[in-house]
Structures are given as C-alpha cells and as structure tokens.
C-alpha cells in the first residue's frame, strides 16, 4: 500500500465543509454513512442537521473512476428539546444514521439523537401538474360556480427539487442516551440501544417496541457495565451482537427467548495480569463493533486498538491491530484532558480485506488483513498498515498520492516522523466510512468531510 519515499496509492479527492477556523460546536460532524450502493453519502452534525451528498455521474464514467460527491439535500433532522419531568436538556446532535435498502425511486434513512429516532423519506420531484379544476395555479380554492368546463390536468417538466420528509417518529422508549441503531436484514425491523437496554422496533409501528436486552440491575449501585454498541448480523435476521464497557461482546439469538438476557456466545480476551494498570478498565471499553459484510467476522475497537474476531471462536481474537500504541505512556495526561473517553468508530472495506479507524492529529489508520495483525506494538509501521492524514495540506495536492505518516514513540525520531509529544489531540478522527464496493473512503475531521480514493 505504501510506495517509495513513503508515498501511497491513496490520493485526495474532495473536502466538504468550510476550512475557516471559526467553527461552531453545531458544525462538528457526528456521524458518516454510505448507502448500500455507495451513490449517496450522509453526514449528521451536532446541530441536528443531515447533509446528503450524491456521487457525481461524470466521476463514474472517467478512467480511473473518481470518488466525487456533490451536495444533494440538506435538512434539519432534530431540534433541541427539554424534558420538563427530569429537567433535562436533550441535544439535537445526530448520533447515528442508517440507510434502508432502496425499494423504489425514493431513499429512506433512520437518524437518531439521544432520545428520538426518525425515519426520513428523501425523494425527487422534477415535474409539476397544471390545469386543476377545483383550484387556481397558486393553490387557492376556486369558486365551484366559476367552473364551467372540466379540464384534464397535464404534467409539465420543472426544476429538480429534493424533498426530505419525516415518515415515522419513534420516541419515548429510551431512558438513557441512544448510542446505536441497526437495521435488520429483513428490512422491516431495527434495534436501538442505550446504556442499559436494547429495543426492537418495526418500521411501521411507532408507539411500541420490544425490549430484547435489559442489563439494568435492581439496585443501580450494583451496576458494573454499560452497553456501548449494538449491531444486527448482516444476513441472519435472528442474530445480533452488543459490546460493553468491560471489553466483552455478546452474540444473542432472538429465537432462544423473547428477552435475550442469556447470550449465545461471549467474546472476551483474558487480560494479562502483568499489564494491568489504573487505566486498564477504561481503555478496554469497546467503543464500536462492526460485523463483516460476509457475516463471518466481527471487528471491535477499544481505545488503543482493533481486534478481529471469528464468530466461531470466542476465546480470543484472530487478529489484533494496534492503532496508536505509542499513547500508552500518555494515558495519565489523556485521562486528565478526558481524551481517554473518546469513542472511535471503525469500518470494513467492501471486500472485508481492509479495516479503517481514526486516531489523533487528523490521522486515520488503514490495515490490510493478514499484513501485520498480532504484530508487535512498536512505533514502526508494519507491512500492510498505513497512517494517513486528513488535513488542508492533502486538499492542496489533489490527485497526488498521500504520504504515509509515522509517529515516533521516543524522543529520537527520523526526519519524516512526528513526535508523540507534538500530536494535536483536538484533531480527532472519530467517524469514518468505506464505500461498499469501491476503494473510496470518507473521513470526518471536525466540521470537514474528507473523501479519499485508492488510485488503483
């Protein structure tokens, strides 16, 4: 993946969003998601807005193909609310977006903030009807006494309009903040998860849901873990997984019982007692879990690394990829500035052969499976892994190969390395997405969306 002089086959394609420094909190991107064919790319932000980008048709025709997207639709998905019973302010921030598979000309997506999930319909209108009998062209009702003859309405071309309308609102089912939503493979049901419960919904029913996981103890003082992420199996509609703050992942089968309080499988890697420290429990918390597109493997992201699990083997991960092991010596300062609680997401490539996740300083990591998993934890780059940077420098070199970045874990560093002490912890890459069929990736860096593509 890396060539001579540290250059790679990845190149900058586009950046969306303002590059100005006066960025407001509402502009920060909070989720990124491609739809099932990769033609649309949606982002949600802390201001409750959803922006949808559409693949430029011309970029697919050129050789090699380009991953270029244009703004397709922007709409306000959630507004700030106030829970008067609990005296609690509910943020409008979009936590997750999930696309439904397309069944007709319209597109459908689910978006959620901390409490409310909404199903949106995004449709195009490029025609208008004229020649009404009972109303004027402006829409005002016409006096029936003035209708002297019947007319046949006609359809005329009009400027393209993209409309986003809420079709369903699923509310009042979560006491705690929603951290995950996941569509089932049946495309009729979906799950939503908060810290202590997972609910199962039907897309057509908004006033009730089934509680399928409940880990809330009778006495809250006995609480030892919370749910951090949940996802349905991509092909088996009865299976889902959820991860916890204790570093465990449970696979549940809904055929076994209505309440999945007993898991079918438990994936957990035993902790090395010699490596235990004050921060062990915090950094072992799983921030994201993603099943592979084939459904055979599962990827989990904790604070320092990625693990790939085979669903047929619970005892230990089959692959381990350190993301920023050089931060292990900085855990004390990361705890003091709260960075240790950052929740990094991860994603699979369409062919399940590569993994991607974010880091600090605008860096994100791409790992080629079989090219360095389970290797040592030093600062050197191993075969098949890559550190790239989402920055304005990349935007200034369109179509030029990106340079692989390296971080020096010690005071001694080479010319092309950056010292771990010089990393900017405010530039976090928490949200990433991979095109389902092509080597096109989307990376959210504060309020900017960077799009990169593999030249080959």
State the pLDDT confidence band at 376, using cuts at 50, 70 and 90: very low
Residues 419, 413: Cα–Cα separation, whole Å: 7
Average pLDDT of the chain is 89
Structural domain that includes position 351: 4-454
pLDDT at 153 over 50: yes
Segment 135-152 mean pLDDT: 78
Q: Quick one: average pLDDT of 388-396?
A: 83
Reported as a pLDDT band with limits 50, 70 and 90, residue 125 is confident
**pTM metric for this prediction:** 0.88
In terms of Cβ atoms closer than 10 Å to its own Cβ (0-12, 13-18, 19+), residue 140 is exposed
Q: What percent of the chain has pLDDT over 90?
A: 66
Q: What is the pLDDT of residues 252-298, one digit of tens each?
A: 999 999 899 899 999 999 887 777 788 989 999 999 999 999 999 99
Confidence band, pLDDT 50/70/90 cuts, at residue 5 = very low
Q: What is the pLDDT of residues 435-452, one digit of tens each?
A: 999 999 999 998 999 999
Which range (116-120, 141-145, 194-198) has the least confidence? 141-145
Q: Give the number of domains in the chain.
A: 1
Where does the pLDDT of residue 224 fall: very low under 50, low under 70, confident under 90, or very high at 90 and above? very high
Transcribe 363-401 into DSSP letters. EEEEEETTSSTT---SSSPPTTEEEEE-SHHHHTSTTSE
377 phi/psi in degrees, rounded to 5: -110, 25
Evaluate whether 418 touches 19 at the Cβ level (below 8 Å): no
Model confidence pLDDT, tens digit, residues 174-223: 999 999 999 999 999 999 999 999 999 999 999 999 999 999 999 999 99
pLDDT at 174: 93
Closest CA to 228 of 211, 246, 216, 213: 246
- Residue 162 — pLDDT band, cuts 50, 70, 90? confident
Q: What is the pLDDT of residues 407-429, one digit of tens each?
A: 887 767 777 788 898 899 999 99
Q: How confident is the model at residue 339 (pLDDT cuts 50, 70, 90)?
A: very high
Contact indicator for 242, 261 with CB cutoff of 8 Å: no
Confidence tier at 6 by pLDDT (50, 70, 90): low
Check residue 5 and give left, alpha or beta (phi > 0: left; psi -120 to 50: alpha). Answer: left
Mean pLDDT is lowest, of 6-10, 160-164, 378-382, for 378-382
Lowest-confidence pick of 162-166, 208-212, 239-243, 288-292: 162-166
Residues 108 and 117: beta-carbon distance below 8 Å: no
Q: What is the CATH number of the domain that holds 342?
A: 2.130.10.10
């Amino acid at each position: 993946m890396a060539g001579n002089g540290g250059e790679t086959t990845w190149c900058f394609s586009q950046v969306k969003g303002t590059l100005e420094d006066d960025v407001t909190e509402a502009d920060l991107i909070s989720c990124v998601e491609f739809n099932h064919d990769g033609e649309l790319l949606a982002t949600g932000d802390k201001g409750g807005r959803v922006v949808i980008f559409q693949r430029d048709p011309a970029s697919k025709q050129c050789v090699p193909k380009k991953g270029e997207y244009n703004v397709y639709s922007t709409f306000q998905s959630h507004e700030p609310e106030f829970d008067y019973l609990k005296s609690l302010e509910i943020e409008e921030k979009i936590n997750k977006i999930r696309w439904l598979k397309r069944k007709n000309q319209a597109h459908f997506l689910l978006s959620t903030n901390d409490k409310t999930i909404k199903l949106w319909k995004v449709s195009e209108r490029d025609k208008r009807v004229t020649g009404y009998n009972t109303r004027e062209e402006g829409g005002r009702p016409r006096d029936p006494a003035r209708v002297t003859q019947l007319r046949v309405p006609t359809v005329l071309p009009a400027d393209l309009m993209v409309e986003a309308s809420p079709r369903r609102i699923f509310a009042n089912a979560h006491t705690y903040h929603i951290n995950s939503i996941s569509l089932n493979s049946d495309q009729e049901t979906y799950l939503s998860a908060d810290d202590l419960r997972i609910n199962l919904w039907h897309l057509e029913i908004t006033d009730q849901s089934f509680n399928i996981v409940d880990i809330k103890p009778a006495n809250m003082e006995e609480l030892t873990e919370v749910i951090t992420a949940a996802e349905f199996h991509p092909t088996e509609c009865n299976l889902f997984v959820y991860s916890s703050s204790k570093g465990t992942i449970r696979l549940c089968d809904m055929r076994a019982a209505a309440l999945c309080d007993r898991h079918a499988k438990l994936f957990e890697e035993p902790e090395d007692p010699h490596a235990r420290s004050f921060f062990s429990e915090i950094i072992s918390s799983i921030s994201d879990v993603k099943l592979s597109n084939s459904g055979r493997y599962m990827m989990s992201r904790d604070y320092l690394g990625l693990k790939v699990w085979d669903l047929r083997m619970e005892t230990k991960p089959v692959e381990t990829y350190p993301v920023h092991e050089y931060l292990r010596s900085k855990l004390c300062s990361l705890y003091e500035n709260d960075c240790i609680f950052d929740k990094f997401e991860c994603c699979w490539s369409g062919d399940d052969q590569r993994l991607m996740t974010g880091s600090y300083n605008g860096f994100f990591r791409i790992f080629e499976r079989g090219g360095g998993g389970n290797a040592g934890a030093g600062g050197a780059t191993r075969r098949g892994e890559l550190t790239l940077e989402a920055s304005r420098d990349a935007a200034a070199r369109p179509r030029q190969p990106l340079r692989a970045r390296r971080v020096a874990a010690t005071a001694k560093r080479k010319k092309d390395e950056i010292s771990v002490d010089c990393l900017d912890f405010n530039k976090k890459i928490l949200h990433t997405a991979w095109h389902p069929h092509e080597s096109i990736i989307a990376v959210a860096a504060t309020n900017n969306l960077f799009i990169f593509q593999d030249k080959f």
